[in-house]
Every structure is written in structure tokens, then in C-alpha cells.
Structure 1
Amino acid sequence: MIKLLEGLFDSNEKQLKKIQLIVNEINSLEEEMSKLSDEKLKKKTEEFRKILNVDLEQSRKDFYELSREELKKILDEEKKVLREILPQAFAVVREASKRVANHRHFDVQAMAGYVLFDNKVAELFTGEGKTLAANMPLYLYALTGRGAHLVTVNDYLARRDAEWNGHILNSLGMTVAAINSGTQYRYITDEEVLKLKGDEGKELIEQREKKAKEAGRLKYDHMSGVNLIECSKKEAYDCDVVYGTNNEYGFDYLRDNMVASLAERVQGPRYFAIVDEADSILIDEARTPLIISTSAEASNEMYKQFANLAKSLQKEKHYTVDEKSNSVSLNDEGIDAVEKLLKVKNVYENAQLAYHLDNALKAKELYKLDDEYMIKDGEVLIVDEFTGRALPGRRYSEGLHQAIEAKEGVEVKRESRTMATITLQNYFRLYSYLSGMTGTALTEAEEFASIYNLDTIVVPTNRPVVRKDYNDVVYRTMMGKFEAIVEDIKEHNAKGQPILVGTTSVEKSEALSMMLSKEGIAHEVLNAKHHEREAKIVSEAGQKGAVTIATNMAGRGTDIALGEGVKEAGGLYIIGSERHESRRIDNQLRGRAGRQGDPGESKFFVSFEDELMRLFGGERMQAVMTQAGLEDDMPISMGILGKTIENAQKKVEAHNYDIRKRLVEYDDVLNKQRNIIYDLRAKVLEISSERKETEEISLEKDIKYTTNLDIENLQDILDGFAVTKKDTWDIQQLEGLKFKLNPLDISILKKLLEYIDMLVQAQLEDDMEIDNIEERNLYIQVKNLLTEEIFEKGVKDLSFKNSIEFFRSLEGKSITDISKELKRLIFVSYIEHIYSIGVEPMRELSKVLILQGIDRYWMEHLDNMQDLREGISLRNLAQRDPLVEYKNEGFRLFDSMLRSIDENTVSRFFKVRVVRNQSPLQAPIQTEKEEVRSLTDNRPGNVSKQQTVKRSKKVGRNDPCPCGSGKKYKKCHYPEFE
């Protein structure tokens, strides 16, 4: 490990020297840029785009119209040009920042900007201005017109950074927006603010300018949202530079792949992204998949029953808890007790009982109130273990959330079924170019490289770090530790030094708050219950005498400015109330002090009862200290303790890395399947969005080939069906005749004909006889496929009295001939169906049928893959590699799903009807036995209501004409009435 780090540092230094040469070139352009007028500086954007030969309308379309190979070739060539104009572009952004915000990018920020452009992770020390460094590469990539995304950890930072950088980037002609989980915003100029917001806007602008003047520059905390206005999500994504949260970007990708038309897609191409706090988003949160779900039909009573059952069981007596593996296991006595209470012989014979029992015990022992979750307004909210923030709308899957709700006695909501899911790891790997920035990346350099193919560069600080980091102090008990923390706070607070205390849970932050209140020490608490005031609390945490308690890294991204007289008092004092399982997160907490060369101090307090110590040998050490007669509040200082803590952290880090690495390997299987399904879905939408016939098929060539019919057999079929509505068609005139069909229609026709081949092969082994049971089965299958009405019309079109006569005509024929005759019937019925519904409604019908099949069976497939994933580890017992088995079984399930989609489309095609006298978009498509819900909007909250359909009897083309002439309808008034 030491050699690895030495190698990284050597490589880091070499790369920094190369980057410094580019920074020198940027600096050499500074004087030239400073002489340009504001207008000429803005025109630089147009000049750069001319060099790039950018077609703003086409640039985003390339991602949908070109193959991956063609797109990569274009982007690679484009990247070379971007690299050439980089010094000038960065110099332009620096000059714009000087004029608009009165802030010149430091050389180290320009270095970080280059690292981000070069698609690496930049470790930029806390407080060095990562957000400002990012606007250089964001501007450069946005010149292509393909859009540049910055990913941050919460909605507030997305809005704040979009507004702050909007002032700079908009002065160069760039549009800027913020993507939030609720409302979306785009940046507008002060002139637009005055027009839209009047006196209120004028007052807010004046306040901002006054603060900027007093501070000497425009700062983040001067942002009040005055330059942001609400917009649609599509408008936001259409902007040049977009700020948003990792979750919202991911969910928008999933939602875009659930829409019913291309016009509903919002996100656009995933071209370039910078992930702020990359360690938090790409590593800490990588284990949690993004899931869009729908309610499942399931009773919640069993959750309540098993919650009560779990309460009656006792730890150690009935079950054991393994916190390292996050599992609870019943022992023999526990199994007997459960089976007695449930009155069953074997609880594990019933998968449903075992499922509820496991969740109830996990909810009881492994998920604690105000630690893993909190309750607000009668709702169980997950608390992010890394930030301490509540996560509204997020729920544990597989029934665990319901088990916790039952435990806490709140309303148990329905279970959910997954409609779409993706991990953040695989979402961000969708981008053509990805970069990251954080204050703590080096310890995770190996993971960034192996999973995301991102190298890590440590960028030097603008000023030397002078913070004092003290050794850990260790106490025997947690109570002794907290009492020592309170005493330490009193001591430093007495001299006016601001203090920030980091805790690992809501529960511990509130316990410490109560102890400080008893001592009469004024303080602020920042946790999941007080997140609304997060930015304000953190921004004031550096004022003289301030005491702030925060869970983990809540407030991350908000600058803690030191107040008057604080530097003389020693700067910000950081207290870590517990060592986190990751050294990196401890370093993040420490990094809140000592920014930009400011003084500061940090110290961690640890006890043998802390979770990390308890899981990795703390109990043994505590027993030794107890025997030695040490008091609770007596600090212990031993070299072996520091090594024990570090080793414990390394073990957890290695364990979590293995989990994430394994997660990627398993999710790659589903990721490949997801790409196939989403590509298929996009293709369906793309074809159906064309308003003209996108493909013409020749009756002579394509239909003959598809149906395997002789051209002479098509004469009766063609009568009355041609698009020009001619009365008859001469066989000799067929060459060159084109029958206009949408490719989706053709796809369904081919699936129907393939289905007939499969049906014949499956049902018949030899020539047919009328009493043969295989013939009867085939008859029933074809009848079910067509519906009785269409079946009878089809055989009459082929000059048979009824379906029985048609099937008797197949007696004695070969399987090939039988298949050919049935295909003639299907083809007749298919053309009849098109004309009975209409060309445009048929186009919508084809789309809806295929999309519904994809969505329905993809959702089932996700359930099946989850079930497979949960049980696949048991293959180890048979000496088989679970991952290999998962891949093989997953392929089989996926292949089965694709067949089910085709069979669903075929089986429903002839059963659909369209309600007349409505616009195509409003017309609900229905089957004889079931409602087919419109997919005009697949997003939550849009459910079409079932309607009663009344239809007039349709006259078949071979039926007598209603006019009474005695002629067939198709030879008489059919063309006029159609």
C-alpha cells in the first residue's frame, strides 16, 4: 500500500508539472483578455463555436441518430479541438469571473479545471473553490452545444451554484439552469429580473450588490434566488450548463425510458458531467440503487403480525445478530418458538412466512430510530448514513420499510414493485466524458480507477494548511467520552473560539445537545430534523463563540467563513465525537477547518463503546481497561489504540469496496439487459413519431417473401385493400405496387406470421385429419388469436363459408401447405384489421401494444432478477461460481422475457378496438376482455379511467351491400363509405 501511494505521488508530481505549463499559457493570455470590451469578450463564445464548426441544432441529435462508433469518432475529433482552444477558453472564463464576481481564478483552480477537462478526479482541498474551478471546463464542453452537467449533493447547492455561476457564464452567452426534485429553474439577467419582478426584484438586486461591495466580491451566500425563474424540466435540460443532484439526474434517465412519445423525454444527451463531492456520490452512495416503483397489490396485515411476533422474541435466547454482515439468525429455540406462535410445522417451508420473519427481526435489531431512520408526520423517513439528511420519497425495498413501519406503529404502506432501476455507478458510466472533484479522493483512487476508469490528481492548495490536528483521545465508555466533549467545548467556548462538533446520528446529536443545554451553552443543531436551516446554520458556524452540532457531513458544500476575532482565538475548532468507518469521512470533517490558510484545530474523541470499536475488538480492550480500574472520564493515550482504530477503518473500507465492486459485476448483467430494452423502446418511439409512412413494402417482393405465398394467391386478398381504393387489381399490374405500412406494423405482421409457423410446428407432426386432436387444438389456438368475428370474416374473404370449412380444406395437406394457408388467413385478417381501425390509429395501436408489453414484462423481469440475485449465493454450496450462474440464469430469464413480449403483442393485436369520434391521442384502446391503458403519460399520477365502448355493427367487404343492390359491399359502396 505504501509503495502504491508513493507511486501515486510520483505520478501526481509529474502530471502537475505538465499542467503547470498549460496554466502558464492561460496566464499569458490574461492581459490580452483584460483589454477586450464586455461585448467582444462575449463574442469569444461565437468564435470558439466557429472553430469547432458547431451546429447547435444537430449537436444533440447526434446522440440519437448516430451509431456508438460514429458518435465516438466525432467526439474524439472534437475533443482534440477543445484541447487546442482550452487556454483561450479558460482565460475568457477567468476574465468574466473577474468582471462579474470580482474573483480571479487562482492558478490551482485553473489546474483543477484542466484536470476536470481531462476527465480525471481532482482532489482539491476543502475551501479551495471547487465550484469556481468547475465553470472553466463546463464552459469549454458547453461550447459544443451538447450540454454540460454538474452533479451536486442537494437541491440547495444546485440552485445556489446555478445562480452564482449563471452571473459569470451568462455574461459569455451561456444559458444556465438548475434541476431540482420539485421545481426547475433557469438563470435570468438582472434586466429580465426587473421586467418580471419589478420593485421586489430591484430591492433584492440592490441588497446583493451591497453585500458584494462590502465583501469585496460576489459570494455564494449572496445568492437569494432573485436571478432564477421557474421553468419546465425540458427547458432546463436544454440549457448549455445544468446543475442538479445525482438522484434527479438518474431518475430523469429512468423516467425518460418510460415515456410514451419522444416529445416527453427531457434529459437529452449524457455528454459531459462533473461530479462534485465525487467520493460521496460515486462511492458512498453507489451501493444504493435508484428505483422507480409502483404499488403492489398486497396485504399489510402480516407485517403487523410479525412485528408483534418479533417483540416476543429475545436476543441471544431466540436469535443472534451479526452487525458486520447485517443479518439476524434464529437458533433452534427461536425456530421452535416461532413455529409454536404461528402454529406451523416448518416456518421455512412457506417462503412468505420466512420473508416476513426475516424483515421483522431486521427491523427490530438492525434499524434504529433516529439513526437509520426517523419519524416525521407519521411517516418513516430514511436518514442518509453519510450526510445525516432525511431522504423523503426514498423507501427500503423488499418489504423492509413496511416492517419498520409496523414496528413503529405508523401506517404501513403498500409494498412496491420495481418499474425501473439503475445504480449510480452505471448511470454515470453512460456519459461520454466524466470527471469528479472532492476534498478527499486519494484514499479511494484505486476504486475510481477500477470502476469509473478515472485517474486521481491531487491539486496543491493555494495557501499552506496551518490547521493543528491533535491525536485521538480514547475513553472507556461512551458517557465518559461525551462528558469529556462537553468539558472541551466549555473550555474553547470560553475564549470565543467557534466549535463544530460532528456526530454520526440524529440520536447522538440530540443527546449531546441536551448535555450542552444543561451546562447553559448556546448552540445550534443541524441534523435530519432541522435540515431547512442547514445553509444558514453552517454559514454562521465560524462566528465568534458559535457552537454547532452537525450529523456527519451535513452542510457540506457551504463555506464556513471565520468571523471577526476568530483567527486570534485559534480559528474553527473541529470535534469528532466518533470515528467513522471510513478515514475519508473523518478527513472531510477535519477539512472544514483551516481553509485558505486560515488557522484551525481538530480532535477526535473515541470510546470502546463506539460502533466501530465495538465491531472490531473494542469490547476486549474495554475489559482490559475495566480490570485496570480506569474511570469513565479518564482519557487513554496508547500507541496501540491509534493503530487499532486505523486497522478497524481499513477493514471496513476494504469490506465496503468489495461490496461495491461485486455490486458492479452483478449490476453489469442487468445493465446490458437494460440497455437492450431501452434501445428497443427508443426505436419504437422513434419509428412511431414519424408522421409519414417511413417504409414502403413491395407486395411483389416483401409480402411474398414474408408470407411465403405465391403472388397469384394474393388477388382475392388485395381486392378492396389497396391504399388508392381501386375496385380491383390486375395481377399483371402488381409489379411496382407499393403498400404503405409503418415499420411497427410490419414488425407485428412478421411476428404474427412467425407465431403461425411456431404454432403449426408445435401442434402438428404429420398431415392433418379432421378428427385429430392436434387439429382441434390448432383450430382453438387460431380462433383465440383472431377472435371469432375476425376469424369468420377472414375465412369468408378467402371464399369459405365458415371456419370449419376452412379447416376441413386443410385435410391431407403437408405442414408447409397448412402453414401457408394459415398465413393467408392471418394476412387477410391483418389487412382487414388495419382498415377497420384506420392507418393513424393503427400506428398508435402498434406503439401502445409493443410498449405495454415491454413495460409489463420488464417489470416482471426486474422482480425475477432480484429474486435470482438474493438466492444465487447458495450456488456456492454446489461449488459453482454465483456470478457465472447469475449471468447464465439472467440470460435465460431475459430471453424468456423477450419471447413473452412478442407473444403478448401477437395475442392482443386482433382483440383491440378504438373508440371513434375522438382525437387519436384521446382515444383509449381497449380489448374485448381487458382495458388497455393509454401510455400517453407513464409518469406517476396519470391513470386512464375505464370507459364503456358502444360500437355499431361493421359491414364486411364480402357481405351484401346495405344499399340492397345484391352486390358485395366491396364491389358496390365500400370505396365511397370508407
Structure 2
Amino acid sequence: MIKILESLFDSNEKQLNKVQVLVNKINTLEEEMSKLSDIELRDKTLYFRKKLRIDLETVRDDFYKYNKVELKKKLDQEKELLREILPEAFAVVREASKRIANHRHFDVQVMAGYVLFDNKVAELFTGEGKTLAANLPLYLYALTGRSAHLVTVNDYLAKRDAEWTGHILNSLGMTVSAINSGTQYKYITDEEALKRKGDEAKELIAEREKKAKEAGRLKYDHMSGVNLVECSKKEAYDCDVVYGTNNEFGFDYLRDNMVSNLDERVQGPRYFAIVDEADSILIDEARTPLIISTSAQASNEMYKQFSNLVNSLKIETHYSVDEKSNSVSLTDVGIDAVEKALKVKNIYEDPQLTYHLDNALKAKELYKLDDEYMVRDGEVLIVDEFTGRALPGRRYSEGLHQAIEAKEGVEVKRESRTMATITLQNYFRLYSYLSGMTGTALTEAEEFASIYHLDTIVVPTNRKVVRKDYNDVVYRTQIGKFRAIVEDIREHNEKGQPVLVGTTSVEKSEVLSTMLSKEGIAHEVLNAKHHEREAKIVAQAGQKGSVTIATNMAGRGTDIALGEGVKEVGGLYIIGSERHESRRIDNQLRGRSGRQGDPGESRFFVSFEDELMRLFGGDKMQMIMTQVGLDDDTPISMGILGKTIENAQKRIESHNYDIRKRLVEYDDVLNQQRNIIYDLRTKILEISNTPRDDLKDDLIKDIKYTLSLDVEQLQDELDGFGITRKESWDIPLLDKLNFKLNPLDISILKKILEHTDYLVQSQLEGDMEIDNIEERNLYIQLKNLITEETFENAVKRLKFKNSIEFFRSLEDLKTVERTKELKRLVLISYIEHIYMIGVGPMSELSKVLILQSIDRFWMEHLDNMQDLREGISLRNLAQRDPLVEYKNEGFRLFDTMLKTIDENVVNRFFKVRVVRREEALRAPIKTEKEEVKSISDNRPGKIAKQQTIKRDQKKIGRNDPCPCGSGKKYKKCHYPEFG
């Protein structure tokens, strides 16, 4: 580990030396930029875009015109041009910042700006101005005409920083927006604000200018929202620079891949993103997938039943708890008690029973009120373990949330079915260029490199850090520790030194608050409150005599300015009430003090009863506890303690890293499948969005051509066809039709002919011997596939009176000839159906059929993959690698899903008809709803459950090796004989 760190520091120093040369060059341009007028400075944006040869009208289409290899090559070439203009562009932004906000980028901020441009993680010490540094690469990448995204941790910061940055970048002709959950905003100038908002804007602008004058610069806390106006999400994403939260960016990506039309998409290309607080978003939240779901139809009564059941069970007697592995296990006594209560012989025979029992036990023992979750307004809200904030809208999956609701006696909401999901890890890997910035990155450098392929660069501070970090104070019990913390707060408060206390949970912060109130010490408490109020309180935490209790991450992103006289009493004093499982979180708390060379102090208080010490402290801690024999209020100070605590943190960090790494490996399987499905959906939307031409409504000519068509030759041409491969769309035989089929039509035709192949192959042999033709399986299957009207019209085109006569004509034919005639019948039925629907509406019909099938069965596939994921670990018992098994099983499930999609499209194609308005109004309500559902409703979960016909034998594909062992393709060998 030491060698790795030495290597990192050595590399860091070399790279910073290279960047310093660039910073010097930018500094030499400063005088030149200062001589430009405001208009001349603004015109630099147009100058840069002309130099880059950017066509703003078409540049965003690049992501759809090129394949991935071609796109990467183009973007990399473009990036080299950006690198050439970087010094001048950075100098322009620095000058604009000086004029608008009176903030001149320090050299270290310019360094950080280059690190971010070069797609690395920049570690900038707390208070070094990450927001200002980010403006440099955001402006540079946005010159390409594609949006540059800034990803932050909450709505308040996204909105605040977008408004502040808007003042600077708007002066350079750039547009800026903020994506919040539920609302979007775009930046407007003071003039526009006065026109839109009148006197309210006049007062807010005057107040902002007054504060800026007093402070000598435009500060973040001067932002009031006066320069923001609500807009559509599409307008927000069309801006040059877009601020938003990680969740909103990810959810918008998922929503964009559920739309029915291209113009409903909002996000656009994922080109360049800077992830603020990269450690929090890319690492801490990486294990939590983003999920869009719909309600399932399951009953909630069993959750209440099992909640009552587990309340009658006793720990150790009926079950044991393993906090390290976060699991609960029944004892033999517990199994007997549960089986007796449920009146079953073996609880493990019914998966539903074990499912509910497991969740009820976890809810009872592993998930604590005001720690992992809170109850507010009759709703169970998850509490973020790192910030202590409530997370409205988020729910535990797989029935756990319902089990907690039953435990707390609130309304048990229905379980959900996943419609779309992605992990943050895989979402951010979709960007062509990704960067990150945070105050604590070095401890996670290995993870940034292995998962995101991002190097970490530690940027030096503008001024030397003079904060005093004291050794930990360790107590035997938590109550003794808390009493010591209160006494320590009193001592520092009496001399006027501001104190910020960091806790690991809402529960702990409330315990401390109660103890401080009893002692008469005035204080503020921050946990799970509104981000804006939180930020304002944290901003005041540096005032003389203030005491603030907050979860470790509360108010992150907000500067804590020291009040008058605070430097003289030692600066801001940080107290950590407990060591976090990650050293990085502890360092973040300490970093709240000592910004920009200010004085400060920090100390952590620890007890043997803390979770970290209790679970991971090891035997040495237990030995010390028994040997020292001190009372609760006497601190322990031994050299071995600090090392033991650090080792415990390292073990947990390593364990959590392994979990996240394994999560990526598993999610990569689903990610590949998701990319295939989403690429297919996109291609379908693009094709259906293209206007059709050469439409001639002449059925007779097309039928005559189809009658003479070599169906086998047509299928050979269709073998290489694929919607996502444009080069395969040219089908010469189909081009001779009087109207042009688009690729979606051809795709459906290919599926129909393949399905006919299967029907013939599995049912034609010997089927002609049945006297009653209407009882033949093949006859029944075809009549089920094709509506009677279309079927009868088609056989008449073949010069037969009816379908019975047509089938009798097949009796004297050889198998291969029967096959040809049946496929010709299907082909003519297909042409008939298109003309019945109308050539024009056919594109929309094809699109709706395919998209509905994809969305429906993709949702089922996600459920299947989740079920597979939960049970795959049992393969370990058979000495098999669960990951390898998951990949293999996942591929088989995906392949089955694709085949099911094809079958569903084929089975529904001939059954859809266009209902005239008058006819629809006359039809019974039930029928009308069914019609609308079948051709118009593209929402998964709204489609009636399909009855799947299982094949008894695997179909032999026309291009598969022939089973006879000749080595030839089946279609070139025995297919004509047995086809």
C-alpha cells in the first residue's frame, strides 16, 4: 500500500509540474483579456466556435450519425482542437469571473480546471473553490455546442450554483440551467427578471447588489432564485451548461428510453460531465440502483401477519443476528415455533413464506427507527447513511420496505415491478468524457481508476492548512463519551469558539441535542431537513459562540465563513462524535474547518460501544476493555488504539470496495443487455420517424408480384436483415413491390416467415392424413395467427374458393412444396393486411407492436434477472462460480426474451385493425378499451398477460448446422426435405 501511495504522489507531482507550465501561459494572457470590452470578451465565444468549425444546428446529431468507434475518433480529434484553444478560453472565463463576481481564479483553481478538462478526479481541499474551478472546463466543452453537465448531490446546490455560474457564463453568451426533481430552471438576465417578475425582482436584485458590495464579491449565498425561471426539461437540457443531481440525470436517461416518439426525449447526448462530490456520488451511492417501477398486484396482508409473528419470537431463543453480515437466522426452536404458528409442516417448501419471514426479521432487528429510516406523516422514509437526510421517493426493494411499514403500523404500500433500472456506476460510464472533483479522493484512487478509468490528482491548496488535528479520545461507554463531548462543547463555547459536532445518525444527533438542552447550551440541529435551510444554518456555524450539531455530511458544499473575533479564539472547532466506517468521511468532517489558511481544531471522541469498535475492533479491543478497568468518564489514551481504529476502518473500506466491484461485475451483464434493448428501441424510433415515400395504393399489382415471388430466395435475403444494421436494409425482392416497406415492416415480415417455418416444421409432417381439415393442428394454428377475413381473402388470391380447398391442395404435394405454398399464403396475407390497415398507418402500427412487446417483456426479464441474482450465490455449494453462472443463465434468459418478443409481435400483427371513429363510438365500452389498449397504449404493465405456448422441441434455424452432421447449413442440406 505504501508503494502505491508513493507512486501516486510521484505521478501527482510530475503532472502538476506540467500543468504549472500551462497556468503560466494563461497568466500571461491576463493583461490582454483585461483590455477587451465586455462585448469583445463576449465575442470570444463566437471566435472559438468558428475556430472549432462548429455547426450548432447539427452538432448534437453526431451521437446518432456515427457508430461508437467513429464517434470516439471524431470526439478525440475535436478534443485536441479544444486543447489548442484551452489557454485563451480559460483566460476569457477568468476575466469574466473577475468582472461579474469579483472572483479571480487562483492558480490552483486553474490547475484544477485543467485536471477536470483532462478527465481526471481533482482532489481540492474543502473551501478551495470547486464551483469556480469547474466553470473553466464547462465553458470549454460547451463551446462544441453540446451540453456540458455538472452533477451535484442535491437540488439546492444545483439551483444555487446554476444561478451563480449563470451570471458569469451568460456574460460570455452561454446559456445555463438547473434540473431539479419536478422542476427545471434556466438562467435569465436582470433585465429579463425585471420584465417577468416586476417589483419582486427589483427588491431581490437590489438586496443581492448590496450584499455583494458589502462582501466585496458576488457570493453563493447571495443567490435568491431571481435570475432563474421555470422551463421545460427539454429547454433545460438544450442549454450549454446544465446543473442537476445524479438521480435526475440518471432517471431522465431511463425515461428517455421508455418514450414512444423521439421528440419526447429530453436529455440529448451524454458528452461531458463533472461529478461534484465525486466520492459521495460515484462511490458511496454506487451500490444503490436507480429504479423506475410500477405497482404490482400483490396482497399486503402477509406483511402484517408476519410482522405480528416475528414480534412473538425472541432473539437468541428463536433466531440469531449477525450484524457483520447483516443477516438474521432462525434457530431450530425458531423453525418449530414458526411452523406451528403458520400450521405448516416445512416452512422452506413455500418460497413465499420464507420471503415474508426473512423480511419481517430483518425489519425487526437490522433496520432501526431514526437510524436507517424515519416515519414522517405516516410514511416510512429511508435515511441516507452518509448525510442523515431523508430520501423521499426512495424505497427498499424486494418487500423490505413493506415489512418495515408493517412493523411501524403505517399503510403498507404495494410492492413494485421494475420497468427500468441502472446503477450510477453504469450511467456515468455512458458519458464520452467524465471528470470528478471532491475534497477527499486519494483514499479511493484505486476504485476511481478500476471502475471509472479515472486517475486522481491532488491539487495543492492556495494557502497552507494550519488546522490542529488532535488525537482521538476513547471512552469505555457511549454515555461516558457523550458526557465528555457535552463538557468539551461547554468549555469551547464559554470562550466564544464556534463548535460543529458531526454525528453518524439522526438518533445520535438527537441524543446530543437533548443533553445540551439540559445543560442550557443553545445550539442548532441539522438532520433530514430542507437543504436550503440546512445550508444557511451551516454557513452561520462559524459565528462566535455558535454550536451546531449535524450529520457528518450535512451542508456539504456550503462555505463556513469565520465570524468576527473567531480567529483569535482558535477558529472553528470540529468534534466527531464517532469514527465513521470510512476514513474519507472523517476527513470530510475535519475539512469543514481550516479553509483558506484559517485557524481551526478537530478531535474525535470514540467509545468501545460504537458500532465500528464493537463489530470490527477485534480481540485487542476486548482485551483492553477487560484489563484497563476504568470508569465511564475516564478517557483511555494508548498508542495501540489509534492504529486499531485505523485498521478497522481499512478492513471495512476494503470490504465495501469488494462489494461495489462485484456489483459492477454483475451489473455489467444486465448493462450489456440494456444497451442492446435501448439501441434497438432508439433505432425503431428513428425509423418510424422517417417519412415514407412512393406510396401507391395498388393491391392487384403487388399480389400478382407476390404470387410469382420465390419465397425461399426472399427468406435467404431476409436472413442477413437486422433493424440496427442499416447496410442490411436493401432487400431486392421487396424493392419490386409497388409500395416500399420500411425496415420495421420488413422486420415483422421476417419474424412472420420464421414463425411459419416453425409451424410447418413442427406440425406439417403427417398432418395431411387427418380427414377433417378443420381439426388439423396446422390449420388451427394458422387460423389463430391470421384473422379469418384476411386468411380467406388470401386463399382466394391463390385461386381457391376457401381455406379448406387450399389445404386439400397440399395433400398431394411434397413437403418442400407444401412449405413454399404455405409461406406464400402467409406472405399474401401480410400484403392484404397492410392494405387493410393502410400503407400510411402501417409505420405507426409496426412501431407500436414492436415497442409494446419490447417494453413488456423487458420488464419481465428484469424481474427474472433479479430472481436469478438473488439465488445465484447458492451455486457456490456446487463448487461453481456464481458470477460465471449468472452470465450464462442471464444470456439464456435474454435470448429467450428476444424470441418471446418476436412471437408476441407475430401473434398480434394480424389481429390489429384500424377502428373508424364512428365505429369506435358505436362499439361497446369494453371492446373500445381493448382496441385502444392493443394499438395505442405503450405503457408496460397495462397490457393483458399473454399466454405463452411452450415449444416441446428446439427449433432448428435455417442457418444452423444441419443435425445430420454434414457440416452444411440446414437450409442447404435437409431443410428442403423436412422443412
* TM-score when normalising by structure 2: 0.91
Deviation at 1:248, TM superposition (A): 0.4
The answer to which of 206-215 and 790-799 deviates more is: 790-799
Task: Tell whether the 8 Å contact from 1:914 to 1:926 is kept in structure 2 after alignment.
Answer: no
Deviation at 1:935, TM superposition (A): 8.5
Aligned to 1:487: 487
Task: Tell whether the 8 Å contact from 1:913 to 1:926 is kept in structure 2 after alignment.
Answer: no
The 5-angstrom pairing of residues 214-363 of structure 1 reads 214-363=214-363
The answer to which of 691-700 and 147-156 deviates more is: 691-700
The 5-angstrom pairing of residues 542-941 of structure 1 reads 542-617=542-617, 621=621, 624-626=624-626, 628-693=628-693, 707-708=711-712, 738-765=738-765, 768-771=768-771, 776-917=776-917, 930=930, 933=933
Aligned to 2:364: 364
SS of the aligned residue for 1:374 comes to: strand
The answer to which of 876-885 and 468-477 deviates more is: 876-885
The 5-angstrom pairing of residues 87-486 of structure 1 reads 87-486=87-486
Aligned to 2:20: 20
Letter of the structure 2 residue corresponding to residue 478 of structure 1:
Q
Deviation at 1:629, TM superposition (A): 2.9
Measured in 1, the distance between the counterparts of 2:713 and 2:65 equals: 36
Letter of the structure 2 residue corresponding to residue 62 of structure 1:
D
The 5-angstrom pairing of residues 509-524 of structure 1 reads 509-524=509-524
Deviation at 1:625, TM superposition (A): 2.9
Change (3 A) 1:98 1:318: same
Deviation at 1:796, TM superposition (A): 2.8
Deviation at 1:751, TM superposition (A): 1.1
Deviation at 1:925, TM superposition (A): 14
Aligned to 1:956: none
Measured in 1, the distance between the counterparts of 2:924 and 2:179 equals: 33
Aligned to 2:60: 60
1:504 aligns with 2:504: yes
Task: Tell whether the 8 Å contact from 2:500 to 2:573 is kept in structure 1 after alignment.
Answer: yes
Change (3 A) 1:915 1:651: same
Task: Tell whether the 8 Å contact from 1:766 to 1:815 is kept in structure 2 after alignment.
Answer: no
Change (3 A) 1:763 1:944: closer
Measured in 1, the distance between the counterparts of 2:479 and 2:934 equals: 61
Deviation at 1:870, TM superposition (A): 0.9
Letter of the structure 2 residue corresponding to residue 266 of structure 1:
V
Task: Tell whether the 8 Å contact from 1:259 to 1:936 is kept in structure 2 after alignment.
Answer: no
Deviation at 1:18, TM superposition (A): 0.3
Instruction: Give the % identical residues.
Output: 82
Aligned to 2:45: 45
Measured in 2, the distance between the counterparts of 1:878 and 1:944 equals: 40
Deviation at 1:815, TM superposition (A): 2.5
Measured in 1, the distance between the counterparts of 2:706 and 2:192 equals: 59
Measured in 2, the distance between the counterparts of 1:268 and 1:817 equals: 52
Letter of the structure 1 residue corresponding to residue 131 of structure 2:
T
Deviation at 1:320, TM superposition (A): 1.2
* TM-score when normalising by structure 1: 0.91
SS of the aligned residue for 2:841 comes to: helix
Deviation per CA, 1:19-62, whole angstroms, max 9, x where unpaired? 00000000010000000000000000011101110011111111
Measured in 1, the distance between the counterparts of 2:785 and 2:919 equals: 28
Measured in 1, the distance between the counterparts of 2:706 and 2:324 equals: 63
Deviation at 1:105, TM superposition (A): 0.1
Task: Tell whether the 8 Å contact from 1:925 to 1:933 is kept in structure 2 after alignment.
Answer: no
Change (3 A) 1:537 1:800: same
Measured in 1, the distance between the counterparts of 2:935 and 2:50 equals: 42
Measured in 1, the distance between the counterparts of 2:125 and 2:736 equals: 72
Letter of the structure 2 residue corresponding to residue 536 of structure 1:
K
Measured in 2, the distance between the counterparts of 1:243 and 1:575 equals: 33
Deviation at 1:531, TM superposition (A): 4.8
Change (3 A) 1:289 1:915: same
SS of the aligned residue for 1:859 comes to: helix
Letter of the structure 1 residue corresponding to residue 741 of structure 2:
L
Change (3 A) 1:927 1:432: farther
Deviation at 1:701, TM superposition (A): 9.7
Change (3 A) 1:413 1:619: farther
Letter of the structure 1 residue corresponding to residue 410 of structure 2:
V
Measured in 1, the distance between the counterparts of 2:512 and 2:616 equals: 25
Change (3 A) 1:613 1:737: closer
Letter of the structure 1 residue corresponding to residue 389 of structure 2:
R
Count of aligned pairs between the two proteins: 921
Letter of the structure 2 residue corresponding to residue 534 of structure 1:
E
After superposition, the CA RMSD in angstroms is 2.6
Change (3 A) 1:547 1:935: farther
Aligned to 1:967: none
Deviation per CA, 1:826-864, whole angstroms, max 9, x where unpaired? 222222222222223322111111001000100010011
Measured in 2, the distance between the counterparts of 1:123 and 1:584 equals: 12
Measured in 2, the distance between the counterparts of 1:619 and 1:272 equals: 49
Measured in 2, the distance between the counterparts of 1:913 and 1:220 equals: 60
Letter of the structure 2 residue corresponding to residue 155 of structure 1:
D
Measured in 1, the distance between the counterparts of 2:710 and 2:604 equals: 75
Letter of the structure 2 residue corresponding to residue 614 of structure 1:
R
Task: Tell whether the 8 Å contact from 1:176 to 1:186 is kept in structure 2 after alignment.
Answer: yes
Deviation at 1:334, TM superposition (A): 1.0
Change (3 A) 1:422 1:510: same
SS of the aligned residue for 2:57 comes to: helix
Measured in 1, the distance between the counterparts of 2:510 and 2:338 equals: 37
Task: Tell whether the 8 Å contact from 1:768 to 1:813 is kept in structure 2 after alignment.
Answer: no
Measured in 2, the distance between the counterparts of 1:462 and 1:636 equals: 37
Letter of the structure 2 residue corresponding to residue 367 of structure 1:
Y
Measured in 2, the distance between the counterparts of 1:735 and 1:173 equals: 50
Structure 2, gaps ≥5 residues long = 716-732, 945-979
Measured in 1, the distance between the counterparts of 2:734 and 2:643 equals: 88
Task: Tell whether the 8 Å contact from 1:767 to 1:815 is kept in structure 2 after alignment.
Answer: no
Deviation per CA, 1:139-163, whole angstroms, max 9, x where unpaired? 0000001110000000000000000
Task: Tell whether the 8 Å contact from 1:912 to 1:925 is kept in structure 2 after alignment.
Answer: no
Change (3 A) 1:702 1:618: farther
Deviation at 1:762, TM superposition (A): 1.6
Aligned to 1:6: 6
Task: Tell whether the 8 Å contact from 1:688 to 1:847 is kept in structure 2 after alignment.
Answer: yes
Deviation at 1:510, TM superposition (A): 0.7
Measured in 1, the distance between the counterparts of 2:262 and 2:162 equals: 27
Measured in 2, the distance between the counterparts of 1:127 and 1:141 equals: 25
Task: Tell whether the 8 Å contact from 1:142 to 1:241 is kept in structure 2 after alignment.
Answer: yes
Deviation at 1:339, TM superposition (A): 0.6
Letter of the structure 1 residue corresponding to residue 283 of structure 2:
I
Deviation per CA, 1:887-925, whole angstroms, max 9, x where unpaired? 1111000000000000000001111123323999xx999
Measured in 1, the distance between the counterparts of 2:710 and 2:403 equals: 55
Measured in 2, the distance between the counterparts of 1:710 and 1:84 equals: 54
Deviation per CA, 1:167-217, whole angstroms, max 9, x where unpaired? 000000000000011110000011111111112111111110000000000
The answer to which of 374-383 and 62-71 deviates more is: 62-71
Measured in 2, the distance between the counterparts of 1:665 and 1:594 equals: 40
Change (3 A) 1:928 1:223: closer
SS of the aligned residue for 1:236 comes to: helix
SS of the aligned residue for 1:933 comes to: helix
Measured in 1, the distance between the counterparts of 2:927 and 2:909 equals: 9
Task: Tell whether the 8 Å contact from 1:748 to 1:905 is kept in structure 2 after alignment.
Answer: yes
SS of the aligned residue for 1:840 comes to: coil
Change (3 A) 1:737 1:645: closer
Letter of the structure 2 residue corresponding to residue 486 of structure 1:
V
